[in-house]
């Protein structure tokens, strides 16, 4: 049993869907569970639809739903001349979406978000499954919301591992009991509660879905198909001399994802490590290339990696009476941070101040600063960048800092983090 995951970029158009089919054909002799994300920018479009629905903007809502339909039907029309069968599979999904949008909304935006946005993955997998069947590749379509069970923490569901493992094993095993079935097709990103409500696993959670399925099935491996040759040591948008990491350990990959490397979802790796299931990151443009393997083995040569987080804000908090920062202060500060959903990327405490670097999301940052200003003096710096360097050297530090002002620095044996003014220039 192998688990493959294809992201939205791999199925963004008809050529991409055909390419997915060609890749799967190469593994037709294996038992494959195939996890697919929403097509292209569909999740963004469904987020817009959710906002229009929430704000009772009917005219704009209808236009966006039409755009969603056109995007999917245009792919179908390009894939096959006689497309009635595939279009017929999509039509009831769109009808269910329209019924959902005609239902009076609840008072919980996150519940409505998950209920509506989940249609993206249902549409993409329905399309791909029907296309594969039209090519003679018999497959079973499974609803991830009935396999992966979570709590009702909408938009960031917490997995019930016992129920999920049981469901996944039974439904996938039942599917492959039919020897003519080549693939199981299912969705990334989405799950369901015990009551049948849709819950998403957090943005970019499709990788996590693949890991949950692999863990449940004790799969031989997971392969994530990307538009890059593997895991790179830096973002090629900033560096022309990037290096592909042929192999890295689970621990190294977890560290990289924790610090913000976007190639792998942070929650993906731990379930795979627990079952010692290797994760391959490969290019869907060049499926025969080696890619990157993430496993328990530790490479002899550790390549420096750079991670840049832009749009950061550094907030420094001082007691108004110039007393020391104590445990009671930190408890109050963290309560405010938590209640305003700030994600701390780095923090530092001194006797007289406490600093945090967070994503500069105005709807979270401004109320947090206002709340902190009640009992504390608050200063902040925006238009800053958080740089993380794994396996650093002074030459590398000079290369990425580019003489910019350093506001905060933290260093361990393997990792250096710097909060600097302005942004890296290539």
State which fold the 2-226 domain adopts: Carbamate kinase (3.40.1160)
Number of other CB atoms surrounding residue 133 within 10 Å: 17
| pLDDT tens digits, one per residue of 127-146 | 999 999 999 999 999 999 99
Tokens representing 89?
A: 């599979």
The pLDDT of residue 230 is: 94
Count of all residues that appear for the chain in the document = 426
Cβ neighbours of residue 208 under 8 Å, at least 6 residues apart? 188, 201, 202, 265, 267, 268
Asked if 53 and 101 touch (Cβ cutoff 8 Å), the reply is yes
pLDDT at residue 422, as a whole number: 95
pLDDT at 335 over 80: yes
Q: How far apart are CA 126 and CA 73, in angstroms?
A: 12
Residue 203, SS3? coil
CA 364 to chain CA mean position, Å:
20
pLDDT band at 426 (very low <50, low <70, confident <90, very high): confident
Most confident of 79-83, 136-140, 324-328: 136-140
Instruction: Report, at the CATH architecture level, how domain 305-421 is classified.
Output: 2-Layer Sandwich (3.30)
> Is pLDDT of 382 > 80?
yes
Residue ranges of the domains in the chain?
A: 2-226, 305-421
Mean pLDDT of 3-11: 97
pLDDT in tens, 158-191: 999 999 999 999 999 999 999 999 999 999 999 9
Which pLDDT value is given to residue 237?
84
CA distance 225 to 240: 23
Residue 48: what pLDDT?
Answer: 97
Res. 18: pLDDT tops 90: yes
pLDDT of residue 264: 83
Using the predicted structure, report yes or no on whether residue 281 has a pLDDT greater than 90.
yes
Cα angle: 175, vertex 180, 183; to 5 degrees: 55
Cβ contact 107:149 at 8 Å: no
pLDDT at 263 (0 to 100): 73
Task: Identify which of 333, 321, 310, 326 has the alpha carbon closest to the alpha carbon of residue 387.
Answer: 310
Nearest to 305 by CA among 225, 238, 227, 356: 238
Q: How confident is the model at residue 257 (pLDDT cuts 50, 70, 90)?
A: confident
- Check if the beta carbon of residue 151 is closer than 8 Å to that of residue 157: yes
* Residue 203 pLDDT greater than 90, yes or no: no
Q: What share of the chain is helix, strand, coil (3-state, %, to 5)?
A: 40, 25, 35
Contact assessment for residue 256 and residue 390, using Cβ atoms and an 8 Å cutoff = yes
């Amino acid at each position: 049993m192998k688990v493959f995951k294809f992201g939205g970029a791999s199925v963004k158009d008809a050529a991409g869907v055909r390419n997915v089919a060609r890749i799967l054909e190469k593994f037709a002799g294996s038992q494959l569970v195939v996890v697919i994300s929403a097509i292209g920018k569909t999740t963004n479009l469904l987020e817009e639809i959710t906002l229009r629905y929430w704000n009772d903007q009917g005219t704009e809502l209808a236009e966006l739903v039409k755009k969603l339909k056109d995007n999917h039907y245009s792919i179908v029309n390009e894939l096959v001349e006689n497309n009635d069968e595939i279009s017929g599979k999509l039509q009831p999904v769109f009808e269910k979406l329209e019924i959902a949008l005609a239902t009076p909304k609840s008072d919980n935006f996150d519940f409505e978000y998950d209920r509506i946005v989940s249609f993206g993955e249902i549409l993409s997998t329905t399309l791909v499954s029907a296309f594969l069947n039209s090519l003679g590749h018999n497959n079973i379509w499974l609803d991830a919301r009935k396999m992966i069970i979570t709590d009702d923490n909408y938009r960031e569901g917490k997995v019930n591992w016992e129920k999920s493992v049981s469901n996944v094993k039974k439904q996938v095993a039942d599917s492959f009991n039919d020897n003519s079935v080549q693939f199981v097709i299912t969705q990334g990103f989405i799950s369901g509660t015990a009551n049948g409500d849709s819950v998403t696993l957090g943005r970019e959670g499709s990788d996590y879905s693949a890991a949950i399925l692999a863990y449940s099935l004790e799969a031989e491996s997971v392969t994530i198909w990307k538009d890059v040759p593997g895991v790179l040591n830096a973002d090629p948008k900033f560096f022309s001399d990037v290096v592909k990491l042929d192999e890295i350990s689970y621990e190294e990959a977890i560290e990289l994802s924790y610090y913000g490397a976007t190639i792998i979802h942070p929650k993906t790796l731990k379930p795979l490590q627990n079952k010692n299931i290797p994760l391959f990151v490969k290019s869907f443009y060049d499926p025969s290339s080696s890619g990157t393997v993430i496993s328990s083995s530790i490479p002899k040569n550790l390549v420096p990696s750079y991670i840049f987080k832009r749009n950061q804000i550094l907030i420094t908090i001082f007691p108004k009476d110039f007393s020391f920062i104590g445990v009671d202060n930190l408890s109050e500060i963290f309560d405010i941070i938590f209640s305003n959903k700030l994600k701390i990327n780095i923090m530092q405490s001194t006797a007289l101040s406490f600093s945090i670097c967070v994503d500069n999301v105005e709807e979270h940052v401004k109320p947090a600063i206002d709340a902190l200003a009640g009992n504390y003096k608050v200063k902040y710096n925006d238009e800053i960048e958080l740089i993380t360097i794994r396996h650093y050297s002074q030459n590398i530090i000079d290369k990425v800092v580019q003489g910019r002002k350093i506001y905060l620095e933290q260093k361990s044996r393997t990792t250096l983090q710097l909060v600097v003014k302005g942004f890296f220039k290539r």
